[in-house]
Amino acid sequence: MEKDCLFCNIVKGDIDTEFLLETEDVVVFKDINPHAPVHLLIVPKRHIRSINDLTDADRTVVAEMLMVGKEMAAQQQVAEAGYKLLFNVEHGGGQRVFHLHLHLLAGKDW
């Protein structure tokens, strides 16, 4: 946990946020500024700054994030119609919160 990290504080429960799902390793909540009718964030509980900081030890949690993304798409009833699973990587890739997260976006015509 990083003291000044927004998503660490959400994971800890210090910022009131409804979790749509919580597993041992990840939480899922709605994006506060949605870019599509369905816009969820799948966030590891452990602080990982960015895709660029992943190590071998993170293989399990990254697989869990993808599986939860797939499961949340089904739960939100967008699996068949289709959806995006997206990592923004570093500032140039659009990353603004430096705690790893996977965007699940669906429900609009791209």
Write down the least CB distance from residue 50 to ligand AMP, Å: 9
Between residues 5 and 97, which has the closer beta carbon with respect to ligand AMP? 97
**CA–CA separation, 106 and 34 (whole Å):** 10
Type and span of the H or E element at 26: strand 26-30
Q: Does 97 bind ligand AMP (CB under 6 A)?
A: yes
Helix, coil or strand: residue 56? helix
Report the alpha-carbon distance of residue 41 to residue 44 in Å, rounded. Answer: 10
Identify the residue among 23, 75, 76, 88 touching ligand AMP (CB under 6 A).
88
Of 42 and 73, which CB lies nearer to ligand AMP in the complex structure? 42
- Catalytic residue numbers? 101
Return the half-sphere exposure (C-beta side, CA atoms, 13 A cut-off) of residue 30.
11
Could you tell me the smallest distance in angstroms from the CB atom of residue 28 to ligand AMP?
11
SS3 65: helix
Q: Which is nearer to ligand AMP, 8 or 80 (CB)?
A: 8
Catalog residues that contact ligand AMP under the rule CB under 6 A: 6, 15, 17, 29, 31-33, 41, 88, 94-97
